Structure 1
Amino acid sequence: MYFDERPKSSRKDLYDMREKLEQLIAALNRKDPLIVIHGLRRIGKTSLLQTAMSEVEHGIIFDLRTLGTRAYSTKKDLVEIFESGINDFLSRKKTIRMKIIDVLKHVTGVQVEGIGVTFSWGGEEPLDIAGLFKKLDRWALSGKTNISIAFDEAQELRKVAGIGMDKILAHVYDYCKATSIILTGSAVGLLYDFLGEGDPESALYGRSKTEIRLKRLEPEEAEDFLRKGFKQTRKRVEDELIQDAVRKLDGITGWLTTFGATCLKKGVSASVIRNVMNEGSKLARREFENFLKGREVARKRYEGIISHLAKGPSTWSGIKAYLEVKEGKRLNDRKVTELIDALVKAGFVESIDDQYTISDPILAYSFE
C-alpha cells in the first residue's frame, strides 16, 4: 500500500521505482563491490534498499540513522548497530542460522548467545570489524553465493571516533570478492566526503562505484501517486485537494505518504495539509538541530541562511548581503562559502541555476 508510512519492503508497494530496483538488484547479482544510493530525505532510499534486500539471497542492513542525532559517536554505538543488524539477519535465516553462527564465533569479540550473537566493543578483545566482514565473505564464497552488506545513511560513519570505517570498507572492497557494499545517504556531500571524492589521501578514493540517484517526483507524478494511493484505499478525493497537497508538499514521497495516511486516519479535508505541515515541521527542525550539534559557534548564521531562503531562492551574493545586514558588519567571503557549502553537503540546501533554495518545503515552512 502506498500510504503505509513505514519503509516499504515489497516491490508492489513502491511507486515508480521499478527501474531503480532492477538496477540495484542487477548490481548485487553482478557482485558490484560498491553501490551508492543517494537522494533527499524522505525520497524512498530505505524503501528501495529494503525491497532489494528482500529479493536477494543474503542481505544485511546496518541502520545508522540513530547516529544522526549526535555530534559524535563512539565505537560502542557502532558495534551495537552491527550486533543488531547481524542478529536481524540471523533471525531471517532459520535454516542456516547455526552454520552462520558457527562461522561468526571465530571472530574476535563475538560471543554466541543461544540463537544469536553479542559483540564486545571494549576490553581485551573488542570486535574485529574487518574480521567480521571477512568471515561472512568466506562463508559466502564457500557456498558459491554472495552477500550484500548495506549501511543506511552511511555519512554517519564519519562521526565514529577511533575506528576508520573508510579503511575497513576499502579492505572489504579489495579483498572480499563475494561481498557487495551498499551505502545510502541523504547528506550527499558528506557521503561523498566519506568516499574520498577529490581526496587522493582517502582510503576509498578512486574506487569504482555503481551510483543510483533518487529524485523527487515531478508534479504530474506526485498527483498520480496520490490518486493511485487513494484508489488503493477506495477513498474519493477531489483533484483540487490533491493539487494543493502537491503544491505545498512538493514531490517528496515521504510527505505525500504522510498526507495520504493522515487523510485515512482523520478524514479527507483541506485541513489535513496544514496538519501534515505543522507536524512535519517538528521533524524537519529536529533534523536541522541535529546538524547544528557541534556547530554551535555558527548556529545563528546557519539559522539566518535558512530563514533567508525560506522566503525564496537567493544567490550567494544575496545570502552574504542578508547576513551582513543582520550582523551589521562585513563578512569574509570564504566563511560565507563554507557556511553555504556545509548546508548543501548536509542536504538542507541545493543549488539550482546559480541560486540556492531549501531542499525540503517543510523545513522552509518551519522557518517562515
Structure 2
Amino acid sequence: MPAPPTAPRLRAAVVGTGAIAIGGHLPALAAHADEVELVAAVDVDAERLDAFRAEAGEGVAGYAELDEMLERERPDLVLIGTPPAFHREQVVTALRAGAWVLCEKPLCLSLAEYDAIAAAEGTDGGPYAAVVFQHRHGSGAVHARELLTSGALGRPLVAHCQTTWYRDTAYYSVPWRGRWATEGGGPTMGHGIHQTDLLLHLLGDWTEVRAMAGRLVHDVESEDVSTALVRFEGGALATVVNSVLSPQETSRIRIDCTDATVELTHLYGHTNDDWVYTPAPHVADTADAAERVRAWRTPAADLPSSHTAQLAGLLAALREGVRPPGSGHDARRTLEFTAALYKAAFTGLPVRAGEIGPGDPYYDAMHGDHPDWAPHTSVEESR
C-alpha cells in the first residue's frame, strides 16, 4: 500500500535579520524543517542581511524591500524581528499579501495599531497575525494552566508577577530604545510584557488596574520601573513589577491558591524544573498528598519555552486554517493591560478593562500624551 502523500512544506520569510532572528527564529525554523522552509530574508542593512544568510544556509534569497520579497516569493509565513515602530506597517503589508505573521513583541505600539492589524486579518481561515509570547508555550506553562483552570490547585487568590532586569546606559544608546514613538514604552512594554502575558494566560481576564511608574535612573522618555495592583475576573488580586534597574535579575510568577502555591522562577526561558508546587497544610496532611503533588509536578514531556515551541502551534493552526495561539483576544488583552497600567500610573486613577477605546488618548499612545511624560525633542537635549 503506498504511503500517504506528504504535505508540501510551507514557505517562510524573515524580516529583520538581527540577533533575535539568528538566536530565535532560525533555530525554530530548523526544528520544524520538515514542515517549513526558509526561502527569503529582508533587511535594509546589507551587511547584516549577508551575515544572516550565511548562517541560514543556501537557498535563502535576500531583499532590501518587504514589498518586493512578498511579490516574488509569496511566502505562507512571515516572521518579523524589526524594531517595534515598523511592526504595524510590516504586519499589515504581509497580511494583505496573504501571509500569516509571527511578530516579535510588542506586536504594535498602541491599541489603535492593534485594531488596524486585526482589521487586515482574514475573516475566515486567515491569514492571522500572532505575537511572540513564547513563555506560555513551554510544557510547564501548559501544565500549570491546565491545573489552574481545572481547579486542581483550588481557587486562585493572590499572585505576584515580577520582571526585574538590568539594562545599562549602553543599552539605551540604540536610538529607538526608550522612546514612546519607537519602542512604545519602557520595561512595562518592552520587557515585562512576556511575564504579564503569562500571568494573564494563567489567570484569565483582568478587571481593574492601579499603578505607578517612574524614571529613576535612565535618561530616556519612557519609564524605567513600574508597579501595579491588579484585580482579576475570578477575584484574585496580583502585584506586577517591571524594572530595568535590578542588578539581581529574575523573572518570576507566584500564584497562591486555596490548595497550593505554584511558583515559576527563571530569567529568559523556563523548563519543567523551574516550576515548583507547594501544597497547603490541609492538603499536605492528607493520605493522598504525595500522589496529588506528583500529578502537579509531572507534565507529560519537558518542552522549554521558546520560539520553537510557539512555532509548532502556529504551524498547526496555519495548516488547519484556524486562529493561532498568541493572537486575537489573548494578544489584545495583554496589550490592553499594558495600556491600562500606563494610564493608571500617569493619571493616578484606577482603570477598568474595556475602558480604553477610540477617543481615549491611551488608545492611540501608551503614554497618552500625558504632559508629565511628553517626549523630549532628543535624548541629548534632555541631558
TM-score (norm 2): 0.31
Bigger share in helix: 1
Bigger share in strand: 2
